[in-house]
Structure 1
């Protein structure tokens, strides 16, 4: 669980890397460079291609977890303040819990629902601003991105492959990157002709650490844990992003944000608790006692 938590913690560094190292106004380019080279690297290392049904499964999972998710996140980021988009995205644990109950027959407990509601409230305190403006299309895009990612998480648990984890991770990154490539070109145009050393360092970090390593840890956690447990760990991302903004960018941290971070962490811990069944008592059969008949002399 702690190893899986590294993935959303790494994703929480994306905001810092993007603002400090990458060219402005190119989020889709960053998503493509983050996914496609990392996927090609993992496929080259494992030398495994999808077989049979996994050609279309890899495409579906890559679209849900990466391609569609990042495209809708781009729309939400441009039409909504970041805090609103993050708050809507924090609905993902509740969506995963509901989908897991329907597709995986997992029990939807009251504690999970309450922890999910607390997580949304905590993220709202952490990143939401009082003067935030709402936009219908932006809200729909943010919600659609959360639904896409939640569905991808549950299907990643439902569909298991005999191929190595790094290979299946690479397939999804390649599929998601290829879906994003034409969208990025049409919306943002061709990439900069002469990227700076800082740009290359930022893209290199997003490719190797932010995608290849983080997604491998994420999918490993989905295979080993309940999807609901894994998706609650995703709430660490806005907490890490806010903490880095305070520590590195000298951003102001309010008491409401500190309270929000505490609520998020509490919801995360509560969601990991699983009810253990009572130990089964072994009941030994009672042997009947036969009395010997007394013989009469």
Structure 2
């Protein structure tokens, strides 16, 4: 392997890990905003709207052709609208609600059961062949999840937060399936930009941003035991945990295979727990940490097994999503 290939792969790994870490901080930044007075939906709208402004500006600087091309391609546009509704708006809103009612680490662990749902969809709905080890991974993830939520104690976690965390997992799974259909049909930046615009618009009547406590952004917010300017927390949520994370994630996929980039994304739940511990003082007990490790092993095993399973001969990229996973998003 020549030096250029090694350098490209090393850069891809660096981009992938950085993207995952920045994504993982979103729950912590959102938690700080919700503790300061924003609702979970207001915080997610702030995140998406801020990202829209930056992404639209970047897209226009590159030239409006890619965005206009999306609107001319009706098939791609329908997929992108669905992407914006489910994989962006629903997934992020549900994750932020979960993170506001549960420890951030548990919320993101719930979301990362999404790959398990992808495998089940491929087998039960699409009738695709799935290796037996994929079902072993599913079983491990479910057992680990029982430890995370401590099911023997009667689900002591907030019921709404738990439901939203599982809903975010469904949104995470939808991301895998929808983005796979869109592969090759439109420019990735255009897909992300239009998807964010759709999510921003559809969340307006739910988030009601006109009633958000915008004055909080001009006041100090408690984070990591210190008082941080509210606007700086919001900027970190928009710029680091959304825009740069999406861009770096795409750069990682370009330099690595989608499977390798997806594997790197499993840094995200671990770093989310560490960041929430350092900045918010949220700690998981030993049983929940053990369960979280089992969840990640199970989800990763299921995803890798599905990725290497042979696809049915009749499958086509435009009609049925492929079994190769795409890098997941934290939402």
Q: TM-score, normalised to structure 1's length? A: 0.72
Q: Show the counterpart of 1:225.
A: 258
Q: TM-score, normalised to structure 2's length? A: 0.65
Alpha-carbon separation, structure 2, partners of 1:251 and 1:75? 17
Q: CA deviation at 1:177?
A: 1.7
Q: Show the counterpart of 1:16.
A: 28
Where does structure 1 lack aligned partners over 5 or more consecutive residues? 278-297
1:249 to 1:61, Cα distance in 2 relative to 1, 3 A: closer
User: Are the aligned partners of 1:100 and 1:154 in contact in 2 as well (CA < 8 Å)?
Assistant: no
> Of 31, 52, 55, which residue of structure 2 is paired with 1:39?
52
1:103 to 1:45, Cα distance in 2 relative to 1, 3 A: farther
Q: CA deviation at 1:57?
A: 2.4
Matched, 1:70 2:82: no
Q: CA RMSD in A?
A: 3.9
Alpha-carbon separation, structure 2, partners of 1:149 and 1:269? 14
SS in 2 for 1:195: helix
Q: CA deviation at 1:212?
A: 1.3
Deviations 1:75-103 (A, max 9, x none): 55677776775554343111112234578
Matched, 1:93 2:115: yes
SS in 2 for 1:108: coil
* Larger relative helix fraction: 2
Q: Show the counterpart of 1:112.
A: 134
Q: CA deviation at 1:5?
A: 5.0
User: Are the aligned partners of 1:61 and 1:156 in contact in 2 as well (CA < 8 Å)?
Assistant: yes
Deviations 1:37-78 (A, max 9, x none): 212322321233223213332211011111122333455567
Alpha-carbon separation, structure 1, partners of 2:293 and 2:156? 26
Greater Cα radius of gyration, structure 1 or 2: 1
Q: CA deviation at 1:138?
A: 5.7
Q: CA deviation at 1:201?
A: 0.9
Q: CA deviation at 1:106?
A: 5.5
1:58 to 1:74, Cα distance in 2 relative to 1, 3 A: same
Q: CA deviation at 1:183?
A: 1.0
Q: CA deviation at 1:246?
A: 3.4
Q: Show the counterpart of 1:215.
A: 246
Provide the aligned length of Structure 1 versus Structure 2.
274
Where does structure 2 lack aligned partners over 5 or more consecutive residues? 1-11, 61-65, 221-228, 311-331
SS in 1 for 2:52: helix
Alpha-carbon separation, structure 1, partners of 2:189 and 2:24? 22
Alpha-carbon separation, structure 2, partners of 1:107 and 1:131? 36
